[in-house]
Structure 1
Amino acid sequence: MTNKQPIGFIDSGVGGLTVVKEAIKQLPNENIIYLGDTARCPYGPRPAKQVIEYTWEMTRFLLRKNIKMLVIACNTATAVALDEIKKQLVIPVVGVILPGTRAAVKSTKNLQIGVIGTAGTVKSGSYKQAIITKVPEAAVTSLACPKFVPIVESNQFQSSVAKKIVAETLLPLKNKKIDTLILGCTHYPLLRPIIQNVMGQNVKLIDSGAETIGEVSMLLDYFDIANTDTLSKADYSFYTTGSTVMFDGIAKEWLAALPVYSKHIELGGSQSCDTMVEKHITYDQ
């Protein structure tokens, strides 16, 4: 393993770009390879066995790219596949749940913590279990938000449709006394301004993906594999199993001035989820 080898990021779609954005900010010397399985998103409604299978397919692709660390930048995949993959790889593997949990526990003042995520993440109970383990007296309210990912994947996260869906979905949390809300899906930070507006400025939003980069940085130092070359420009490569046009449009907007030209790849029985996305958006209009 060499320090110049890239860090690999995998996600069910474009959501993991919120993690990459923080990585570029905090770790400017690191080379990055990102793979978003946009053709088969969302992962949240899928059976755990299928999510594990898809996560392994993405992992094997990045291993062939000679990565030095793997970041599972997907809460659903972290919840069901992290432990298995971590045990079988010799490189460091990082998920997004524990870093987000630690930040929420540190943030809350009244021990009333909310968690929003995909159906798969909420069903796993991973966040609630992690929080209760650290603070047994904490009250955790979890809410599945299955319509959020399709909004982001279809590049409608700034639309009036998005505002309507977010407001309606988060309504059950409005009568709770939570002071801290974990964005338990890396797609959700793209909806952050809308979520903050709905929940109010007194509720602290925790970006689990962004918190993860702190752990990545720590592990790079611990294993002495941080890229210390400040003379060479960091290299960023992006791959998607879906539309490169849609992916690049979202990536360029989210990553600001960074030019993004993704490459399309095929993974085991990839099938487009465009119909699924369209169905969600049409239904909510």
Structure 2
Amino acid sequence: MDNRAIGYIDSGVGGLTVVKQALTQIPNEQVYYIGDTLRMPYGPRPQEEVLNFTWQMVNYLLKKDIKMLVVACNTATAAALPDLQSKLKIPVVGVIQPGVDAALATTTAAEIGVIATAGTVSSLAYYNALLQGNNTAKVTQLAVPEFVDVVENHDYTSVAAQQLVFDKLGYFEEHQVDT
């Protein structure tokens, strides 16, 4: 049995939801988590800068001798996953493909909405992966950088957060989506 830790990285604390879910499935694993709250959000940053920040976190975790890396940030996954997978000798997974798989399994009309940071939307990572999974899908993307603040500030239940979600998701009423 390999007792080394699994490393998780994110631009902030939102990736802790990924860790929490993983630990329900693999509860005895040791975890190292880095949330780059100093430089978050990553969404409006250039892809090359996100790639550089991601490698800085990865190099730190590699010194800890992790056995696997989870990129728990959509923007970092979009910017860095292929590079990490091609250069690292450990398994590396991101969060985009699981989201794509869930959307494709859920949709009934193949009309899928994507809510993400500007960096993730402009990367077309979800868009392309969804079309690869179903080439007839209609994919509508919306960058909502304001959601980053809600997550990072743990402001899920305030009236202001609820109003923000209601207002932003109203976009999808005009663009038919079922998922």
Which TM-score band (shorter chain)? Answer: over 0.9
Report the TM-score when normalising by structure 2: 0.96
Matched with 2:63 is 64
Which aligned pairs between 1:197-216 and structure 2 lie closer than 5 A?
none
Secondary structure at 1:39 match in 2: coil
Asked if 1:110 corresponds to 2:82, the answer is no
Shift of 1:86: 1.1
Aligned residue identity for 1:51:
V
Matched with 1:13 is 12
Asked if 1:27 corresponds to 2:17, the answer is no
Matched with 1:165 is 164
Question: Matched residues in 2 for 1:98 and 1:86: separation?
Answer: 14
Shift of 1:107: 1.3
Question: Matched residues in 1 for 2:17 and 2:154: separation?
Answer: 14
- What do the CA deviations read for 1:204-236 (whole angstroms, capped 9, x no partner)? xxxxxxxxxxxxxxxxxxxxxxxxxxxxxxxxx
Shift of 1:177: 2.6
**In angstroms, what is the RMSD of aligned CA positions?**
1.1
- What do the CA deviations read for 1:17-36 (whole angstroms, capped 9, x no partner)? 01011011110111111110
Question: Matched residues in 2 for 1:176 and 1:30: separation?
Answer: 42
Matched with 2:149 is 150
Matched with 2:123 is 124
Shift of 1:84: 0.7
Secondary structure at 2:129 match in 1: helix
Aligned residues: 179
Aligned residue identity for 2:155:
Q
Matched with 1:73 is 72
- What do the CA deviations read for 1:83-121 (whole angstroms, capped 9, x no partner)? 111111100000111121122111111111111000000
Question: Matched residues in 2 for 1:25 and 1:162: separation?
Answer: 28
Structure having the higher Rg? 1
- 4+ residue segments displaced more than 3 Å: none
Aligned residue identity for 1:141:
T
Question: Matched residues in 2 for 1:133 and 1:41: separation?
Answer: 30
Question: Matched residues in 2 for 1:22 and 1:125: separation?
Answer: 26
Question: Matched residues in 1 for 2:52 and 2:138: separation?
Answer: 33
Shift of 1:69: 0.1
Matched with 1:86 is 85
Question: Matched residues in 2 for 1:177 and 1:49: separation?
Answer: 34
- What do the CA deviations read for 1:35-79 (whole angstroms, capped 9, x no partner)? 100111110000001100100011011111110000000000000
Identity among equivalent pairs (%): 51
- What do the CA deviations read for 1:245-283 (whole angstroms, capped 9, x no partner)? xxxxxxxxxxxxxxxxxxxxxxxxxxxxxxxxxxxxxxx
Matched with 1:97 is 96
Asked if 1:135 corresponds to 2:134, the answer is yes
Shift of 1:178: 1.4
Aligned residue identity for 1:62:
L
Question: Matched residues in 1 for 2:117 and 2:82: separation?
Answer: 19
Secondary structure at 2:128 match in 1: helix
Shift of 1:176: 2.9
Shift of 1:154: 2.2
Secondary structure at 1:178 match in 2: coil
Question: Matched residues in 2 for 1:75 and 1:64: separation?
Answer: 24
Shift of 1:161: 1.4
Aligned residue identity for 1:117:
A
Shift of 1:179: 1.4
